[in-house]
Structure 1
């Protein structure tokens, strides 16, 4: 009986000599992965279009006249671009004051939350004291408590302190946040303890370690916290509605709402122009800090 000898060339040797592999020998899972990835991209594109459609409609509505905004059927593009809407919102309202007040509150609250949140997070992550974990869990649990449950006693407290109807009321309300402490603590726990020990041996105090080592290393987490705090403060409506009664203290959201209420016949084209202006700072901040935001959120959930 004759035996047939088959020469089998290893894959690396076939690649070295330019021998093309048999298409039938390719794994079947590669084609399935391509199809799955294509479907995923399609779903993500559809979701992105669904999320961006309201913004597109808002921008286009800001360039329409008052009678064309809510026309039936919906006209996505204006027949005539009314650029004067952006001029009218500046001349018919006190939007410059609203922007200034909102910007002051957003920047101040963001800076204070980053300062207090990072400092408290360093204490919870690096300083050992009795009841530390229980105190941290109790503090973080306040995130689940709705603001409406203690809104009235808080208003009475600030009114007795004579800070109601001032910008200080909003600043004091939002200068401290449990979420910021939680976010920064999770990031600090990813920093090796050896760095803190080496700094202590070099004579640095705990304040120096926090300021000179931990803060520079936590730029992604600080960017994430800053972005979230800035957006929440800029979009806040209920807080300014309760505490800011003087029109000279109104924020952007409160001012636009009162602008609508003060008009008998609302020009929605002008209103949407104001809404577009209110969205621009948030979009700019998010675009500038998007890379740090994603990195900070991703690394804050890691340990070791």
Structure 2
């Protein structure tokens, strides 16, 4: 099986080639307007988007190997992270390397704290609405302690808003690290499973409507088709999110798949049924280290 680092290297080459193609097409399009060139650019961008999604999927499927790379070969992983194309995608999931199990009571207290921080960030942003002049760092950090370390000096409004945005990203990542822990992961699972069930129902209704109007006029058919596509997109989006949540905690995923009632469709819950098709790749560390050594020596 291909090593994750090999896959990422190949993905980097693919993205480099496609970005080079885009630049070439843009130069040609700048000189001569051509509808075919525009279509080719759109097609190439779709290929790039598809590959980026595939990279994220592979990182999650191979999360154990991703963490092992960080543990044993941090310099090698850093080379990938610094790549101008694939590195931007990998960087989006680097925060998963900080994941650790949290006891239930500690998780509950931490969640309350994070919710308070999010409220502070929201209030801080609102307080700058219509603000004129420099923002005083001391007054902001006293009123909103979550901004300590982000607003360290007086700054103009635009810079203060950017600092608040950065603080929000950090808090969101901490929140997700907490929510995917065994203690709290059922919260996002239940939330997104409910969304999936909602849009599955709406999708079945939309399909039935399309069948009813087929052959009864182009306008009605087009409207029904668009409705079905819209609902399907939303359903697929929430399915991707739930899939990523489950893959972000492979040990929890393995646990729910190993339940005794797993094969009983009547007893299994919606999330368990959903998880049936998701299989993270296990890592045999010693074998993997040998393969990595061969790659680096060869």
- Normalising by structure 2, we get a TM-score of 0.27
The structure showing larger relative contact order (alpha-carbon pairs under 8 Å, at least 6 residues apart) is 1
**Which protein has the larger Cα radius of gyration, Structure 1 or Structure 2?**
1
- Normalising by structure 1, we get a TM-score of 0.27
The answer to which structure has the higher helix fraction is 2
